């Protein structure tokens, strides 16, 4: 399952499943041509996507991400990175369109609803993210903290597939699961057995979303590992 983005999701706080599983667009390049070339080249070479970052920033991944920390947003937001949705690439009448303002996004979403009905979504093929080094809390609401310099460049956009993006609220709820909580998923439910913290020195190249893993003992008497990208409901133990 993945999130269906809409125009109002510009500004949403999220995390990608894997930071280096991305496509980097240089704005001076024709969007349609760049997309066709990138999708063709990386379709069978997903492992090479991280090389784009070394090419554009002239740094090793270790150096590039040295001041970004995975952290744990649920308990230490000040030391946890976060991303903000800043743009969309949509397929519109056979061509790609880059939407980087609320006005543009609302315009195309309203057009989609007029053509296909009020439940229609824009055909979003990529989501542009901007990174922040930490999370701040203002009036009990999580907001992006200090900008991370690499994605502050005006000439580059970091794009991710919609299916590879997880809302921050899902990450926090997942991290907050405790042993004994009752977890309901689409096809299985059960009791959380453990919530184990993991050591991820190179989180940017693997699971960049959470620093822990949760397993449940399901009603089918089997152990099931759940992930934050799945739709789940938590009933806290009493």
Minimal CA–CA distance to 70: which of 8, 11, 17? 17
Domain ranges of the chain: 7-168, 171-235
109, two tokens = 């979403």
- Rounded Cα gap, residues 170 and 119, in angstroms: 24
The DSSP bridge partners found for residue 54 are: none
Instruction: From 88, 98, 25, select the one nearest 55 (Cα to Cα).
Output: 25
Longest distance between any two alpha carbons in the chain, whole Å: 57
- With CA atoms as reference, report the closest residue to 209 among 166, 177, 163, 151: 166
Residue 44: the pLDDT is 59
Q: Give me the tens of pLDDT residue by residue for the chain, a chain 238 residues long.
A: 567 899 999 999 999 999 999 999 999 999 999 999 888 877 657 677 888 999 999 999 999 999 999 999 999 999 999 999 999 999 998 899 999 999 999 999 999 999 888 888 899 999 999 999 999 999 999 999 999 999 999 999 999 999 999 999 999 999 999 999 999 988 888 899 888 888 778 999 988 999 999 999 887 767 888 888 888 889 887 6
Label residues 69-85 b or e (16+ Cβ within 10 Å = b): bbbbbbeebeebbbbbb
Task: Note the pTM of the prediction, 2 decimals.
Answer: 0.92
Confidence (pLDDT) at 104: 96
């Amino acid at each position: 399952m993945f999130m269906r983005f809409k125009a109002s999701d510009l500004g949403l706080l999220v995390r990608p499943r894997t930071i280096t599983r991305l496509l980097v667009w240089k704005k001076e390049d024709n969007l349609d041509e760049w997309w066709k070339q990138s999708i063709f080249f990386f379709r069978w070479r997903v492992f090479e996507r991280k090389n784009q970052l070394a090419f554009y920033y002239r740094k090793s991944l270790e150096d590039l991400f040295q001041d970004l920390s995975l952290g744990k947003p649920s308990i230490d937001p000040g030391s946890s990175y976060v991303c903000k949705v800043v743009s969309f690439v949509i397929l519109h009448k056979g061509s790609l369109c880059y939407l980087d303002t609320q006005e543009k996004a609302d315009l195309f979403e309203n057009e989609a609803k007029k053509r296909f009905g009020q439940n229609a979504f824009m055909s979003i093929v990529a989501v542009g993210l901007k990174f922040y080094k930490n999370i701040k809390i203002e009036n009990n609401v999580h907001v992006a903290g200090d900008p991370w310099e690499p994605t502050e460049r005006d000439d580059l956009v970091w794009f991710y597939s919609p299916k590879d993006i997880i809302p921050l609220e899902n990450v926090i709820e997942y991290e907050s699961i405790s042993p004994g909580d009752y977890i309901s998923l689409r096809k299985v439910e059960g009791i959380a057995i453990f919530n184990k913290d993991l050591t991820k020195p190179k989180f940017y190249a693997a699971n960049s979303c959470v620093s822990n893993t949760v397993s449940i003992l399901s009603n089918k008497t089997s152990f099931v590992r759940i992930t934050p990208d799945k739709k789940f409901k938590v009933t806290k133990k009493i």
